[in-house]
Structure 1
């Protein structure tokens, strides 16, 4: 069982912050990418692609929000486990 990081030390705190940034990074980045694509699809639907179904931007944005929430939950669970020394 590993000991939890000593967050009173600035160097250890910076290293732990960097460690946390890598947890679920791919999931969160994919969420941001899909949110951007959903925004682009919504704008294009209103201007250049009026035939694009309304559901396409909505599905992209809802999926993006789900992925971002999954990433947040995974990172929070990792942090809680790490602070307990598991």
Structure 2
């Protein structure tokens, strides 16, 4: 696969759409898990829901790890795609 011509606006837009789809599920699930972990933390703080602290931080940490994994996969794809 050849590197996209980023000087051409049409090819740049097509590449942005292509890059937007790389590891999208991993990134979005990571964001949702991190938000759920933050929600559990707030709920635990205000005693709305009793959850063990290890569970709260496990969900939050898993969400952050998935988000970072998705970002790294996207950066790796971009690096490989731009290589000549």
TM over 0.5: yes
RMSD over equivalenced CA pairs, Å: 1.1
Partner of 1:15: 14
| Unpaired stretches in structure 1, ≥5 consecutive residues | none
1:15-68 CA distances to partner (integer Å, 9 max, x unpaired)?
10111010000000000110111011111112212x321112211111111101
Runs of 4+ in 1 over 3 A off after TM superposition: none
CA distance in 2, matches of 1:6, 1:78: 16
Per-residue deviation, 1:74 = 0.6
| 1:25-44 superposed matches below 5 A | 25-44=24-43
The two structures have a TM-score, normalised by structure 2, of 0.91
Partner of 1:55: 54
Distance 1:65 1:30 in 2: 10
Q: Aligned equivalents of 2:13 and 2:80: distance in 1?
A: 18
Under a length normalisation based on structure 1, what TM-score does the superposition of the two structures give?
Answer: 0.89
Q: What SS class does the counterpart of residue 6 from structure 2 fall into? A: coil
Contiguous gaps of at least 5 residues in structure 2:
none
Aligned residues: 83
